[in-house]
Amino acid sequence: MVLEIHLDDVVQMRKPHPCGGDEWVVTRVGADIGIRCLTCGRRVMLPRSRFEKRVKRVVGRLSPAGRDGKA
């Protein structure tokens, strides 16, 4: 079963990022998933299979005001 992910979805990952944040926003969807840390702004690309194993839950959607790309 494929996890349904869309652009601007906010997801919580199982392990926290070294900066302490565990919420990420989806910036790219495809065979690879691009995510950006909401705490420090770090961008990461993960293969879809690895992303689906590491995601804990979908928190919600990012507001249009939060799309500027700044941390």
Task: Tell me the per-residue pLDDT of 8-51, one tens digit each, with 9 for 90 and over.
Answer: 999 999 999 999 999 999 999 999 999 999 999 999 999 999 99
pLDDT band at 71 (very low <50, low <70, confident <90, very high): very low
**Stated pTM of the model:** 0.82
Residue pair 45/33 in contact (Cβ under 8 Å)? The answer is yes
Give a yes or no: residue 17 inside a domain: yes
Question: 31-54 burial string, b = 16+ CB within 10 Å, else e?
Answer: eebbbbbbeeeeeeebeeeebeee
Number of residues that make up the chain: 71
Q: Which ranges constitute the DSSP H helices of 1-71?
A: 48-54
Give a yes or no: residue 69 inside a domain: no
Give a yes or no: residue 51 inside a domain: yes
Counted domains in the chain: 1
**Parent domain of 50:** 9-62
